[in-house]
Amino acid sequence: MKTSRIALAACIFLAAGSAAYAQAQKQPKLTEFTLATGAPRAPEQLAVVFEKADLQFKVDPAKRSLSGDAALTFRATAPISRLSVELDRNYAIESVSVDSRKSPKTAYRNPEGRLTVDLPQPLSVGERAVLRIVYAGKPHVADRAPWDGGFVWAKAPTGEPWIASAVQGEGCDLFWPCIDHPQGEPLEVTQHITVPAPLVAAGNGVALGMDEKGGWRTYHWRARDPDTYAISLNIGPFEVLEGEYKSRYGNTIPLRYWYLKGNQAKARELFAEFPTMLDFFEGYIGPYPFGDEKMGVVQTPHLGMEHQTVNAYGNDYKKSEYGYDWLLQHEFAHEWFGNQLTNSDWDDMWLHEGYGTYMQPLYLQWLRGDMEYYANLMKHRTDLINKFPVVSGHTQTGSQVYDEATGPGHDLYYKGSLVLHTLRNLIGDRDFFAVTRQAVYGTDKPTPGNFKPRYLSTPQYIDIVNKVTGNDYRWFFDVYLYQAALPELIAERDAKGLSLRWKTQSGKPFPMPVEVRVDGRERVVAMKGGSGRVDMPAGAVYTIDPHSKVLRELPYMGQFKADKAARDKAAQAAKATANSAKK
């Protein structure tokens, strides 16, 4: 979930228990380059494999400061004479070295947030170099995490420091030197997080132990193939619930939940949802991708984010009207759609958010039945914008995609979800879930150990659909993803029946079959060439698409949204007038 930009319909509150949010103090501005994420990679970044990031962090809550020591191992895939990573230039760089040789200050530069380091000698193909960067400063503070990226310096209800990072929208370079691009994932990340005792630092991957010395604790963690923005810092007076899940695939998955002390009863209730969610995902999609590490969740002073194997949770234990914690389920969905399957470019972000969002109604259908499935999808339908295409077809940054003034915004979630619902009905469950497994794992028969995290673009996803089904469905994605307007179904009745015709933006072909119910009998209209006809007697009662299988333009929905916008505007004006009168 990209809660750091767009609030889903249900997430209108930023819940953090009784913790007080720290207001962002006056701080240096981020450069436009650092503020964005997913800019095209530098030639030096394209010419390396990022094998390992060994990250040492010392977090001082009293000073709201971060000291970092990053050792980054790169293997050259082409001859290169320098290395390049992203790091917020507002950090003071204390030293830079390559393979333990200190670099002179003239050998590196960081004008806008892309740090470039000249190598003592060029690397040939296959050679490795370890770039070490020691730096310190005050991390950028989020004004309103997770919508605005940065650090949150809060207090737990019991008074201790409660700290979290949430950097999806602005990128990993807000606190560690990285390749700030979806395809910049290191193969391995180790973290050594030093915090004042007795605070706890919950981390990504596998726990390697904890050292305590001189009033400070250092927690050691190791994670494989982490999404760049999924590396996180989560620090607080945590207690932990532990358990195990016996997978249908024969492996045992560690379960961990770090929660604020004093909330054990609520924490146990949330923890009880972990196995049910695993049952669903492993049954419908496939093996939990990080079963050799853990399914982890940590309570945070912001709403949430998909931090690989230690998902951020700040929903304050509020269950939805469907009787489950939607936020926990959504963030967990991103272990498959985001962390295992990573978009090749931010322009393909619907693969994270559309699939992640569709997992909520699908979960409800599995858990409770069709009524809640369709009720949840109807909520998605009321929030469509249809101003920009979900996929532009060219490289975009995260901010361009999530900003509704320049990109699809929360259509990534809701339109993506409804497109998947429509695709599922078009090609059938067998092929739909085969497509999904191929997209996520690279195989339709995944088992623990026979797959690795992978990147995927929208054209590659379409190729998978075509290969699995044996049909060419480019027309489907051309209309739903690559154009903004929804297809409109024109229905005209005459004395002998009903004529149907699809109308699309720019006249794109759209042979989408449509079901029509006539006097209780249902039939499928093939719509070859985008049109079709149903013969029926005069006076017959008919319903188009009676099972709501097809996403299409609905005139009454537009009127509802216009009326709602007018009401909201009037309510805001009235509130402003009332506040002015009080003054």
Indicate which residues carry an active-site annotation.
331, 413
Cβ partners under 8 Å of residue 394, min gap 6: 347
What CA–CA distance (Å, rounded) separates 389 from 155?
41
DSSP state, residue 141: B
The H-or-E segment that residue 257 falls in is strand 252-260
Cβ–Cβ contacts within 10 Å for residue 370, how many? 11
What CA–CA distance (Å, rounded) separates 208 from 534?
66
DSSP state, residue 337: B
Q: Which residue has the tokens 């009905």?
A: 425
The rounded Cα 567 to chain-centroid distance in angstroms is 31
What CA–CA distance (Å, rounded) separates 426 from 549?
8
- DSSP β-bridge partners for residue 312: 298, 305
Cβ–Cβ contacts within 10 Å for residue 494, how many? 9
Helices (H), 442-506: 458-469, 474-480
Q: Which amino acid is at 376?
A: N
What CA–CA distance (Å, rounded) separates 195 from 342?
31
What CA–CA distance (Å, rounded) separates 150 from 142?
4
CA dist list (Å): 365 to 78, 280, 483: 50, 10, 29
**117 HSE (CA, 13 A, CB side):** 28
The rounded Cα 377 to chain-centroid distance in angstroms is 19
Does 410 appear as a known binding residue?
Answer: no
Token reading at 41: 């990679």
What CA–CA distance (Å, rounded) separates 26 from 32?
18
DSSP state, residue 40: P
Does 32 appear as a known binding residue?
Answer: no
Cβ–Cβ contacts within 10 Å for residue 430, how many? 10
The H-or-E segment that residue 333 falls in is helix 326-333
What CA–CA distance (Å, rounded) separates 327 from 17?
15
What CA–CA distance (Å, rounded) separates 258 from 299?
6
Cβ–Cβ contacts within 10 Å for residue 243, how many? 14
Taking a C-beta distance cutoff of 8 angstroms, is the pair 298, 308 a contact? no
Q: Which amino acid is at 157?
A: P
DSSP, collapsed to helix, strand or coil, labels residue 537 as: coil
Does 334 appear as a known binding residue?
Answer: yes
- Dihedral sign, Cα of residue 543, residue 549, residue 552, residue 555: positive
What dihedral angle (degrees, nearest 10) is formed by the CA atoms of 205, 206, 208, 210?
Answer: 70
Please enumerate, by residue number, every residue annotated as part of a binding site for Zn(2+). 330, 334, 353
